[in-house]
Amino acid sequence: MPSPLGWIPSLRSERPMALWAEWDLVLLGPGGVVKDRRRFRNLIVNAGLDKAKDRLFNPATVAPVFGYVAIGTGAVPETPTDVALGTEAARDAVAYTAGGTGVCTVDHTFPAGVGTGAITEVGLFDDPAAGNMFNRKTFPAINKTAGDALKASCTITLVAA
């Protein structure tokens, strides 16, 4: 049946796309003992959506990949207009692992002595020191002591919604 507006295609023939990101944070004590684990979805911020769009479709822009994860101690809840973590504690490059169709995981383990404190936020960035933020999540503190490591994994999924 044609659309009543004439120009809107039938949704039966369309495959709208959805994008989301899910975090898995694992706090490891000495000897690799799991001390804490958190899993949650997060907010993909406006700048992240725009950079993803440009990377996919804008021939005039060669947007860098979101290849860095940052952890921090900021407590202000995330909003779509965020451009940085509240209080960044550490940032480093991620490893990329392809998953199934439309799925990948990026992760990094912050070793003992790096990014210590009450970690309450995490996000992905396209630069090792500044740049654009893709996503952000705040959460109740994960207390990373000097002897702990924190593995931050983010699974990004694009699906036909």
Q: Tokens for 131?
A: 């740049």
pLDDT (tens digit per residue) in 37-54 = 999 999 999 999 999 888
Q: Which of 14, 79, 18, 29 is nearest to 52 (CA)?
A: 18
Strands 88-93 and 133-144, how do they pair?
A: unpaired
Helix, coil or strand: residue 48:
helix
Whether this prediction's pTM lies above 0.85 is answered by: yes
Predicted local distance difference test score (pLDDT) of residue 10: 54
DSSP state of 87: S
